[in-house]
Amino acid sequence: MAASGQWAEKSLNDTITQEKGQYIAVVEGSIPLAANGAYCTIGGRTAIDIAKEVCTNSYATIAAGTCASFGGIPAAAGGVTGAVSVGEAVPGLRLINLSACPMNGANLAATLVHWLTFKELPATDSLNRPLFAHGDRIHDNCPRRAHYDAGEFVQEWGDEGHRQGWCLYKMGCKGPATDYNCPRIQWNDGTNWPIGVGHGCVGCAQPGFWDTDERNAQSTNPPLPVPTRRVSDDGAATPPVATMNKEDGANQDGSSIEREIPPEEEAKS
């Protein structure tokens, strides 16, 4: 829409009245309900009032970003605006949630092209997110996954494991509990993505990501146990063992005592 002000409002109204049931509405941002919706007004109307009119008269609605999809940061603990998702504000919509903070524009383009090509919306998961974008965990497509499987974890920012590109799970990475195609399409025309520059996934495509540590919470794909890279008391390497909390001790057969290899010892092995 090139217009602004009253002309933008006219274009919107013309679409609603002349293309009823044929257009796709794209909504960015959560919908505040507190104070009768006064926390967001456009042209003298509240966001909830506009959303009800625009979305209910559309063929389908796309919630663009985690705020529109699940409420996002405005709906986090301590908020005062009563922010909710588009689906909660206007129930019963034909809805596509393109979550992430921010949403990746490539996924919006793919959704629209799918509709234009096949005259139907893409298949979705239980959270109304397209499976092409949210069908796989970040963990399963992460280039650092081999380090996870080998029990090689960054223990603190800037340590040897961090410099070597080891797994960021112990630094708070939520990749094992986040369903998104971030590793494949990345950002800025495929230039890079958060884990690629050494920071763990914050789980921004998941509901309630701001308030919860989804590594320990229920999600559409719960996390796996943490494998530890181990060495026996005689210095021989043994296969990684998947465990959440396993202290040093004797093997079940009493043959040896094993421990996790610290990064500084790994460099010597």
Domains identified in the chain and CATH numbers: 5-134 (3.40.50.700), 136-269 (4.10.480.10)
pLDDT score for 240: 53
Provide the β-strand partners of residue 84.
31
pLDDT digits (tens, 9 = 90+) for 126-155: 999 999 999 999 999 999 999 999 999 999
Element at 24 (helix H, strand E): strand 24-28
pLDDT score for 93: 97
* Amino acid occupying residue 84: V
Total residue count of the chain as it appears in this document: 269
Q: How far apart are CA 179 and CA 97, in angstroms?
A: 13
pLDDT score for 141: 95
pLDDT score for 264: 46
Given a contact cutoff of 8 angstroms between Cβ atoms, the answer to whether 165 and 147 are in contact is yes
pLDDT score for 211: 87
Q: What is the mean pLDDT of each run of 10 residues along the chain (269 residues)?
A: 83 94 96 96 94 97 98 94 97 97 96 96 97 96 95 94 95 93 94 95 93 54 56 50 39 35 46
pTM for the predicted model, two decimal places: 0.79
DSSP 170: G
Q: How far apart are CA 150 and CA 167, in angstroms?
A: 9
Backbone conformation region of residue 174, classed left if phi is above 0, alpha if psi is from -120 to 50, else beta: alpha
Q: How far apart are CA 191 and CA 185, in angstroms?
A: 9
Six-digit token string for 198:
């050494």
pLDDT score for 244: 40
pLDDT score for 220: 40
**Close Cβ partners of 51 (under 8 Å, ≥ 6 residues apart):** 27, 31, 86, 89, 90
Six-digit token string for 142:
């992460």
